[in-house]
Amino acid sequence: MFVVTGGAGFIGSHLVKALNEAGESEIIVVDDLTDGTKFRNLAGCAIADYIDHAAFREAIRSGRGPDRVKAVLHQGACSDTTEWDGRYMMDANFETSKEVFAWCQSQAIPMVYASSAAVYGPSTTFAELAGNEQPINVYGWSKWVFDQWFLRHMKRLNAPVAGFRYFNVYGPNEGHKGRMASVVHHFDRQLRETGKVRLFEGSHGYDDGEHRRDFVHISDVVKVNLWAIENPSVTGIFNLGTGASHSFNDMARAVIAWHGRGEIEYIPMPDDLVKSYQAFTEADLTRLREAGYRAAFVAPEEGVRLTLDALKQRAA
């Protein structure tokens, strides 16, 4: 039995599908389906049970969690980087993660959880070291606080725990995410609606559209998560990106090339975003490689093609 929190979301639903493809159908999905459209992400997937996230939290707090669990893939969180309700953010991302961690340790269940590259903020060095961590929004801080909390407990573990700092993940199953969907999702929609892709004008020392991020395809995120639960010696916090940054112009051009039409329009960055904007990210993969993960990562051009091909097939 596997538990996937946030299992109807973007990354969680891909993990459920990948487990199915590996022959696993004993899967408990934990999520909040207030937005019922998320069910589409699990269409065609085989699961053993669905538990509302509030009921799951109550169950594990009282020691009544599910039995025979092989591993927990904890993806559930508030991922809205523009959300400034700190009480809500800390409950969703910190308190919930502590509860899942405590239950997993009490039952000796391996746990893989989602952290974020947002912990690095404006840093230009992205190794998993304290001096590089400078969160600039409450989302990034909530992830950083749990990372630090976990590290304080690492020497007393009853089961392995791996936290992955996701960089800019993109792929299918993002339709429910609204403004928090990846740039590939937004560029595709913008181009289909207007024939133009909108990027931010230059700022933070970068020219128009030249802000750079480490864009990582969902297939790679899934592979690394499953690798971690298959290798119980993997414990700690690891970056999960490709190890190379690309500009937003690069991603926009890849979307335009796939469509065979379109142009780029540059717009001013909103004032309220400037102070909490990461203009550059690039994962340092040293720790992940040293832990034994050897697979190559999907290049952005190929990842864009895979994503848009999948969206086209789904629409058809």
The low-confidence residues of the chain, meaning pLDDT below 50, are none
- 132 burial level (CB within 10 Å; 0-12, 13-18, 19+): middle
The pLDDT score that the predictor gives to residue 252 is 98
Q: Clarify whether 223 is annotated catalytic.
A: no
The pLDDT score that the predictor gives to residue 178 is 85
The pLDDT score that the predictor gives to residue 172 is 94
Q: Where are the domains of the chain?
A: 2-170+215-243+281-298, 178-212+245-280+304-310
Contact 136, 130 (CB under 8 A): no
Contact 35, 10 (CB under 8 A): no
CATH superfamily of 2-170+215-243+281-298: NAD(P)-binding Rossmann-like Domain (3.40.50.720)
The pLDDT score that the predictor gives to residue 176 is 87
**Structure-token match 């801080």, residue found:** 141
SS3 state at 127: coil
Q: 98, 177, 196, 223: which one is catalytic?
A: 177
**Domain range 178-212+245-280+304-310, its CATH number among 3.90.1150.10, 3.90.25.10, 3.50.50.60, 3.40.630.30:** 3.90.25.10
Quickly count: other Cβ atoms within 10 Å of residue 89's Cβ: 21
The pLDDT score that the predictor gives to residue 273 is 86
Q: 38, 113, 120, 139: which one is catalytic?
A: 139
Give pTM, 2 decimals: 0.95
The pLDDT score that the predictor gives to residue 63 is 86
Say how far apart CA 10 and CA 175 lie, in whole Å: 9
User: Mean pLDDT of all residues in the chain?
Assistant: 96
Q: Clarify whether 120 is annotated catalytic.
A: no
Please name the residue ranges forming H helices in 137-204. 138-152, 183-194
